[in-house]
């Protein structure tokens, strides 16, 4: 296994795993391949969803995720927008504006 | 006085509110307000529509005199629409204190393009009005609610955070 891969362990319903295995057989690949593809596609779709993007931004505003994690999820450009908005929420910044 | 260059988006946000004291009047009283010709033209175009945004644009145009307008050369390298482009160029050319803009999806780029000018969005500007005692926190929340309804900001978590901050003040 190459070093940029991480081993994870999780529990999933039997039926779901059986279906993944069946699809792997059809495609001539393996369970890992099917699960990784499914996860990749889910993450891509989810981060194009505006509501979910706002959830992600909210987690960043509340310091639940870092800027690096934010960038991983929504991309550099969108992350830059959220970083500017986070600064707009900063009390000190609002005070600075009020004092001008 | 503190000089503030405004983009079309934020002026329209402020122009939506008609309850006294209107945020538009506060803006004009507190700052030297400047807009580039491109923003003025965008407002004229919006004012031709019979909706909330059109009426807001009309209210702004009624308050903008010649001394609020300035022509500026566009920076053609800048990948934004003409209004934002001209407003950023104007703020940089004059070294204005503040740049008021509500284009949330372009703020990273706008922020990076401003040299010495501080960026401020409408919710933050309103919060600073509260800080200065120009609006009570309750008045600011109600102003923000009117703008949120007209601009479909309901789902925006930045606006939600700005609002809940005012409620806890």
Q: What percent of chain A is predicted at pLDDT more than 90?
A: 79
pLDDT of res. B169 = 63
Which residue in A86, A95, A97 is closest to B120 by CB distance?
A97
Q: How close B55 comes to chain A (CA, Å)?
A: 28
Q: Are residues B157 and A83, on separate chains, in Cβ contact within 8 Å?
A: no
Query: Please, what is the average pLDDT of chain A?
Result: 92
pLDDT of res. A1 = 47
B21: cis peptide before it, omega within 30°? Answer: yes
**pLDDT tens-digit profile of B64-123?**
988 999 999 887 877 888 899 999 999 999 999 999 999 999 999 999 999 999 999 999
Q: Which residue of B has its CA nearest to A79?
A: B108
Residues A20-54: b if buried by 16+ CB within 10 A, e if exposed: beeebeeeeeeeeebbeeeeeeeeeeeeeeeeebb
Q: How close B64 comes to chain A (CA, Å)?
A: 22
Confidence of residue A33 (pLDDT cuts 50, 70, 90): very high
Chain A touched by B109 (CB under 8 Å): yes
Q: Please determine, for residue A63, whether its predicted confidence score (pLDDT) is greater than 90.
A: yes
**pLDDT tens-digit profile of B14-36?**
999 999 889 999 999 999 999 99
Chain B touched by A94 (CB under 8 Å): yes
The pLDDT of A34-61, averaged and rounded, is 91
Mutation pick from B158, B160, B167, B169 vs chain A, by most beta carbons of A within 10 Å, is B158
Q: Please determine, for residue A26, whether its predicted confidence score (pLDDT) is greater than 50.
A: yes
How many alpha carbons lie under 13 Å from residue B140 in its C-beta half-sphere?
Answer: 26
The pLDDT of A47-60, averaged and rounded, is 91
- Do residues B108 and B158 lie in contact, with contact meaning Cβ atoms separated by under 8 Å? no
Q: How close B27 comes to chain A (CA, Å)?
A: 12
Q: Are residues A94 and B124, on separate chains, in Cβ contact within 8 Å?
A: yes
Q: A51 or A85: whose pLDDT is higher?
A: A85
Chain B touched by A75 (CB under 8 Å): no
Size of interface A-B (CB pairs under 8 A): 72
Q: Give CA–CA dist B103/B32, Å, rounded.
A: 21
Task: Please give the ipTM for the structure prediction.
Answer: 0.93
Q: Please determine, for residue A2, whether its predicted confidence score (pLDDT) is greater than 80.
A: no
The pTM of this model reads 0.86
pLDDT of res. A44 = 84
The pLDDT of A42-49, averaged and rounded, is 83
pLDDT of res. A3 = 60
**pLDDT tens-digit profile of B141-158?**
999 999 999 999 999 999
Q: How close B49 comes to chain A (CA, Å)?
A: 28
């Amino acid at each position: 296994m190459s070093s940029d891969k991480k081993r994870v362990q999780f529990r999933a319903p039997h039926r779901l795993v059986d279906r993944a295995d069946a699809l792997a057989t059809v495609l001539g690949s393996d369970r890992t391949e099917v699960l990784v593809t499914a996860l990749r596609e889910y993450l891509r779709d989810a981060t194009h969803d505006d509501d979910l993007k706002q959830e992600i931004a909210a987690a960043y505003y509340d310091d639940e995720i870092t800027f690096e994690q934010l960038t991983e999820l929504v991309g550099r450009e969108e992350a830059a927008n959220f970083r500017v908005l986070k600064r707009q929420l900063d009390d000190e910044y609002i005070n600075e504006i009020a004092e001008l | 006085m503190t000089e503030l260059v405004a983009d079309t988006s934020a002026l329209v946000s402020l122009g939506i509110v008609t309850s006294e004291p209107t945020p538009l009047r506060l803006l004009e009283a507190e700052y030297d307000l400047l807009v580039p010709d491109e923003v003025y033209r965008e407002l004229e175009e919006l004012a031709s529509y019979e909706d909330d945004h059109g009426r807001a644009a009309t209210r702004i145009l009624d308050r903008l005199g010649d001394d609020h307008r300035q022509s500026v050369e566009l920076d053609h390298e800048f990948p934004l629409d003409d209004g934002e482009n001209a407003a950023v160029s104007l703020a940089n050319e004059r070294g204005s204190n503040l740049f008021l803009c509500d284009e949330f999806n372009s703020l990273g780029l706008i922020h990076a393009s401003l040299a010495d000018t501080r960026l401020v969005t409408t919710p933050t500007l309103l919060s600073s009005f509260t800080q200065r005692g120009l609006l009570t926190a309750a008045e600011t929340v109600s102003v923000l609610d009117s703008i949120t309804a007209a601009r479909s900001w309901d789902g925006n978590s930045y606006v939600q955070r700005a609002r809940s901050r005012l409620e806890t003040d």
